[in-house]
Amino acid sequence: MAVQAATATSQGTTPETPATTTSAVSLGPAAALSCRECGTRFPLGPIFACQECFGPLEVAYDLPSGDPESLKKQIEAGPDNIWRYAPLLPVPADVADKPNLNPGFTKLVKADRLAAELGVTGGLYVKDDSGNPTHSFKDRVVAIAVEAARAFGFTTLSCSSTGNLAGAVGAAARRAGFRSCVFIPHDLEAGKVVMAAVYGGDLVGIEGNYDDVNRFCSELIGDPLGEGWGFVNVNLRPYYGEGSKTLAYEICEQLGWELPDQLVIPIASGSQLTKIDKGLKELIQLGLVEDKPYKIFGAQAEGCSPVSTAFKAGHDVVRPQKPNTIAKSLAIGNPADGPYVLDIARRTGGAVEDVNDEQVVDAIKLLARTEGIFAETAGGVTVGVTKKLIENGRIDPAKSLVVLNTGDGLKTLDAVAPTTGPTATIRPSLDSFREAGLG
């Protein structure tokens, strides 16, 4: 999503928000919105771009200052979902009592067979976010946006989506009692379309790619037609993004409150990657993990690789591309957080790499064959890029490595269906089975 020059409130007007930190709403430890570019602070509200410099806004906190061990204990005694981290999120203290899909605390799988295949000796883990309520990591970001939408009095939830987000918003809206109307490119996979429609909210296919959908939503947000609408990844984007921090928290907690040495994360808009970095930094700041270096690697599909192209060329500017890849969930040609992803990859000593569609399919099968995890194409991109980065020496196989699987293979069956099927089709007789040579 491109950072929009004109911010709009739920009333469709341009807010004249004073540069003060006094917020009318209360969202737990969230103190204000702060500009990533110039640091100007604004009260908590449904705005996403700085009125001084148009930079993106993010949530700034008054984080807990007490003993890290008692904070750890408080978290560990919390529910088995993202609300165990409520003291670090922009949500009300009683969030766990509200109707929400309660995503998170998905499995961190020690992937020894995949490690053996890739030559990793330092410990390889797959964070399997296909286990969320609508089978992608998007349930995390939507859960936080829902709480912000409640606080700001929105009645309709909306989004521009590459597929997974539309399903996550559709489901969360139903559960939390909002109307929903979500927007997707018209040519998505059947699994994504059905998942977005089945909850009964409105689903609109737009003739164009994701960047067209996103432009349309930015227009709608400033129009009376969009009054009272909370677009989770536009006017609620600062809150939405914070949901991805929970991936960082969970990974470290599941590793026994340890930072991994290396992480590989898929990139569409880049929000997830930047917020995982933010979450890791917070854990260090709070003393919940030991302060040591970690490297963040970004993964894209070759057919939509604006960030990896800029990384490899040594550029700071991300030039938009027209996507053409089977990894449709990652098909954002003009990624809003692209420059920040470049910063993080360079600052941490990581990299951004891409793989082609054939490598994506091979990687989906590799993960399924070695670990019994069926990933969607985004997971194939991430595993494929991991393999490539090990082969080209960017990832150190002797150090610990966490690879994210952010979505479920059942939503992108078409990617593997042409090359996956029965080993044999036989008559129901032993002779026929014997002839197939499988005994």
Ligand X SMILES: Cc1ncc(COP(=O)(O)O)c(C=O)c1O
Contact residues for Zn ion (CB under 5 A)? 35, 37-38, 40, 50, 52-53, 55
Q: Which is nearer to ligand X, 31 or 232 (CB)?
A: 232
Query: Which CB, 264 or 378, lies closer to ligand X?
Result: 378
Strands across the sheet with 57-61, in order?
41-42, 30-35, 57-61
The nearest distance, CB 27 to ligand X, in angstroms, is: 21
Which chain residues interact with ligand X by CB under 6 A?
136, 138, 162, 164-165, 266-272, 329-330, 376, 378, 406-407
Report in angstroms how near the CB of residue 260 gets to ligand X at its nearest. Answer: 18
Which entry of ligand X, Zn ion, none binds 52, CB below 5 to 8 A by partner kind? Zn ion
Closest CA relative to residue 171, chosen from 138, 148, 204: 138
Q: Which two tokens stand for residue 123?
A: 């410990």
Shortest distance in whole angstroms from residue 217 CB to ligand X: 14
Query: Which of ligand X, Zn ion, none is residue 237 near (CB under 5 to 8 Å by kind)?
Result: none
Determine contact, residues 213/236, Cβ cutoff 8 Å: no
Partner whose footprint covers residue 355, from Zn ion, ligand X, none (CB < 5 to 8 Å by kind): none
Q: What is the 3-state secondary structure (H, E, C) of 123-143?
A: CEEEEEHHHCCCCECHHHHHH
Please identify, using beta-carbon distances, which residue of 162 and 218 lies nearer to ligand X. Answer: 162
Residue 165 binds which of Zn ion, ligand X, none (CB < 5-8 A, kind-dependent): ligand X
Residue 269 interacts with which of Zn ion, ligand X, none, CB < 5 to 8 Å by class: ligand X
Least distance (Å) between residue 71 CB and ligand X: 27
Q: Which does 268 bind (CB under 5 to 8 A by kind): ligand X, Zn ion, none?
A: ligand X
- With tokens 């470290």, the residue in question is 252
Q: Which residues contact 59 (CB under 8 A, 6 or more apart)?
A: 30, 32, 33, 34, 44, 90, 238, 239, 241, 242
Distances (CA, A) of 16 to 20, 49, 51, 139, 199: 12, 12, 8, 32, 37
Q: Give the amino acid at 67.
A: D
35 binds, among ligand X, Zn ion, none (CB under 5 to 8 A by kind): Zn ion
Nearer to Zn ion, 17 or 40 (CB): 40
Query: What is the largest distance, in Å, between two alpha-carbon atoms of the chain?
Result: 81
Contact partner, 164, from Zn ion, ligand X, none, Cβ < 5-8 Å per class: ligand X
* Residue 251 near residue 127, CB atoms below 8 Å: yes
DSSP output for 246-273: HHHHHHHHHTTS---SEEEEE-SSSHHH
137 vs 199 by CB, closer to ligand X: 137
- Residue 214 interacting entry, from ligand X, Zn ion, none, C-beta within 5 to 8 Å by type: none
C-beta of 92 vs 191, nearer to ligand X: 191
Closer of 71 and 301 to ligand X (Cβ):
301
Q: Which is nearer to Zn ion, 235 or 412 (CB)?
A: 235
DSSP character string of 294-359: -EEEEEEETTB-HHHHHHHHT-SS-------SS-GGG--SS-TTHHHHHHHHHHHT-EEEEE-HHH
Residue type, 282: E
Distance, C-alpha 84 to centroid of its chain: 19
385 binds, among Zn ion, ligand X, none (CB under 5 to 8 A by kind): none
Cα–Cα distance for residue pair 250/88, rounded to 1 Å: 12
Q: How far is the CB of 406 from ligand X (least distance, A)?
A: 3
Cα 339 to Cα 307: distance, rounded to the nearest angstrom = 8
Q: How large is the angle between the packed helices 271-285 and 338-348, nearest 10 degrees? A: 50
Cβ distance 282 to 88 under 8 Å? Answer: yes
Question: Rounded to an integer, what distance in angstroms lies between the CA atom of residue 391 and that of residue 415?
Answer: 24
Nearer to Zn ion, 3 or 96 (CB): 3
Considering the complex, state which of residue 85 and residue 340 has its C-beta at the smaller distance from Zn ion. Answer: 340
